[in-house]
Amino acid sequence: MNRFLSNVTNKIDTKGRVSVPSVFRSVLAVRGIQELYCLQDFAFPAISVGGPDLLDRYERQISAMDAFSPEANMMSLLVHGGGVFMKLDSEGRLMVTDFIREFTGISSEVTFVGRADHFQLWQPDAFQEAQVAARSGRSFAVTRPV
């Protein structure tokens, strides 16, 4: 498997670390990701986490813009000013820093959410609310055989 899928909620330990789910660590290993790029999400109160390729994707978008445009400057502010590099410890844990806590409202638990080529860190209740909102915005038609 080379995609981040599903969601898992884990507790933060007394030292402020949280275990990254083993299925997510497996994807990191398959993709050869050792250094994590963490970014404050543009739309949700979540931290997006991926490899350097995630940062590269945003930088390609920025470089395609006029370097002096307000859009390029705002995007750089979000991508560079709202991002940090982090590493997992030897036991696959991530330090839940003030950078993460202040942006997300995370306190004692973290919900890890797969987003295909990256994953996100959410405060569990905020994730549940976002899921409900996303589902309510969709209409599902059930077709029954006659």
**Which residues does the chain have with pLDDT short of 50?**
144
pLDDT recorded at residue 30: 96
Q: Phi/psi class of residue 4: alpha, beta or left (left: φ > 0; alpha: ψ in -120 to 50)?
A: beta
> Tens of pLDDT along 15-41?
999 999 999 999 999 999 999 999 999
Structure tokens at 101: 């806590």
pLDDT recorded at residue 119: 98
Looking up tokens 């599903």, which residue turns up?
A: 6
- Going from the N-terminus, what domains does the chain have, and what CATH number goes with each? 7-136 (3.40.1550.20)
The model carries a pTM of 0.91
Structure tokens at 113: 């959410």
What gap in Å lies between CA 112 and CA 99, rounded to an integer? 16
pLDDT recorded at residue 137: 79
pLDDT recorded at residue 145: 54
Structure tokens at 141: 């038609």
pLDDT recorded at residue 1: 80
Structure tokens at 133: 């909102």
